[in-house]
Amino acid sequence: MHAASASDLLIWYDRHRRELPWRAQAGERADPYRVWLSEIMLQQTTVQAVKPYFAAFLARFPDVQTLAAAPSEAVMNAWAGLGYYSRARNLHACAQAVVARHGGQFPDTEGALRDLPGIGAYTAAAVAAIAFGRVAAAVDGNVERVMSRLHGLEAPMPAGRGAVAAHTLAIVPADRPGDFAQALMDLGATICTPRKPACALCPWQAPCRARHAGAQESLPRKSPKKERPQRHGVAFVVLRADQAILLRTRPPKGLLGGMAEVPTSAWSAKLDPSQIVQDQPVTASWLTANTPVRHVFTHFPLELTVLCARVPALTEAPESARFTTLAELDNEPLSSLMLKVIEAGLATLGVKRGESQASIDAKEHNG
């Protein structure tokens, strides 16, 4: 058994590397803006989910100056549906910092990158290596898994991350640090997978400690997860006669920070019926949607009872809320949760999104 070498991995990578929209062609230097944008989007997010967002985001904000100058609502709108919205807020702040502090050029060292908003240890190393050819250990979930198995590391994550970083940094090749980082991630994503790893195809099968012990599926060890208590709430879908629905904007920080939502009650362990009347944004005759909206956040599942009502054309929005027409809804930064709620509410009211009141009237007339 020989030691794992970067060259064995790079030979495999040169033959099997994935083609991804944010990746440079073999042998070419990647654009730092694209590398950075993709790395932020890929945090805790699958390649498949990122692809369409990356393309749309790049078309809308082609460079760091454009992004820095954009209004925050536009950035949140472009991020809507991707999740972890503090990433979008920090992305915007980071673009502005790159323009203000670095003349519109991303800094080319791990340390300077680490000082920017939304860039932590992993992303700083990844951008430094991939975009600037710096020797750095970009330790993400893939690398934790690959290196834990390769060296038979038993320390549970994330406590064992330091040891993983040390093992990784020790074999980063000075001539191809960016390719090495991407090779490690490709290996973790396609061969050294969480379940049923394809060890027979692995360039590091010979030196792999876990494989020799038959323990590849039990590494890396992970700390036990916390329980996620169910929460309940009520959401109010208010449709005005001019086809506008009542929205408000959540506070900038915290859950779904800066995103638009329909008014809701507080989300608590038990649903208190007396809160419903108290929390209603306008006085109205409420219709309850047939089925509640269920949504699972990282740290709790949520069940929202959807109450809907039609209100007259001259109804004014209450303090800190606004009416937005259905035609303009695409411009709002609506989370996936709120899209579900709005769809359920409109369906209960007999309205399909994109369908005008005139066409509904015509349908009723014909039916």
Provide the annotated active-site residues. 39
CB atoms within 10 A of CB 12: 18
> Contact between 212 and DNA (CB under 7 A)?
no
Q: How far apart are CA 4 and CA 149, in angstroms?
A: 12
Query: Which one of 298, 312, 319, 364 is in contact with DNA (CB under 7 A)?
Result: 298
Query: Which one of 9, 82, 129, 351 is in contact with DNA (CB under 7 A)?
Result: 82
Three-class DSSP category at 203: coil
- The residue (of 5 and 43) whose beta carbon lies closer to DNA is 43
Stretch that binds DNA, among 20-28, 51-59, 60-68, 305-313 (CB under 7 A): 20-28
Query: Which one of 142, 243, 264, 280 is in contact with DNA (CB under 7 A)?
Result: 142
225's tokens = 């997860």
Touching DNA, residues 224-263 (CB under 7 A): 225-226, 254-257
Answer for the pair 243, 310: CB distance below 8 angstroms, yes or no: no
Sequence-ordered list of residues with C-beta below 8 angstroms from that of 117, at least 6 positions apart, any chain: 90, 91, 93, 94, 97
> Contact between 38 and DNA (CB under 7 A)?
yes
Residue 258, by phi and psi: left (phi above 0), alpha (psi -120 to 50) or beta?
A: left
> Contact between 47 and DNA (CB under 7 A)?
yes
> Contact between 299 and DNA (CB under 7 A)?
yes
Residue 232 gets which letter from DSSP? E
The alpha-helical segments, DSSP class H, found in the chain are: 6-16, 32-41, 47-60, 64-69, 72-79, 86-102, 110-114, 121-132, 141-151, 161-169, 177-190, 209-213, 273-279, 336-348, 357-366
CB of 168 to DNA, least distance (A): 13
Stretch that binds DNA, among 7-15, 82-90, 202-210, 341-349 (CB under 7 A): 82-90
- The residue (of 117 and 207) whose beta carbon lies closer to DNA is 117
Answer for the pair 152, 216: CB distance below 8 angstroms, yes or no: no
> Contact between 148 and DNA (CB under 7 A)?
no
Stretch that binds DNA, among 134-142, 232-240, 315-323, 349-357 (CB under 7 A): 134-142
Angle between helices 161-169 and 141-151 (to 10 degrees): 80
CB of 82 to DNA, least distance (A): 6
- The residue (of 139 and 311) whose beta carbon lies closer to DNA is 139
- The residue (of 48 and 320) whose beta carbon lies closer to DNA is 48
How far is CA 50 from its chain centroid? Answer: 8
Answer for the pair 282, 318: CB distance below 8 angstroms, yes or no: yes
CB of 152 to DNA, least distance (A): 18
Residue 27 CA: distances (Å) to CA of 237, 302, 364:
53, 47, 63
> Contact between 117 and DNA (CB under 7 A)?
yes
> Contact between 126 and DNA (CB under 7 A)?
yes
Stretch that binds DNA, among 306-314, 323-331, 333-341, 347-355 (CB under 7 A): 333-341
List residues near DNA by CB under 7 A: 20, 22-23, 38-39, 42-49, 81-86, 90, 117-124, 126, 140-142, 145, 159, 182, 185, 188-189, 193-195, 222-223, 225-226, 254-257, 295-299, 335-337
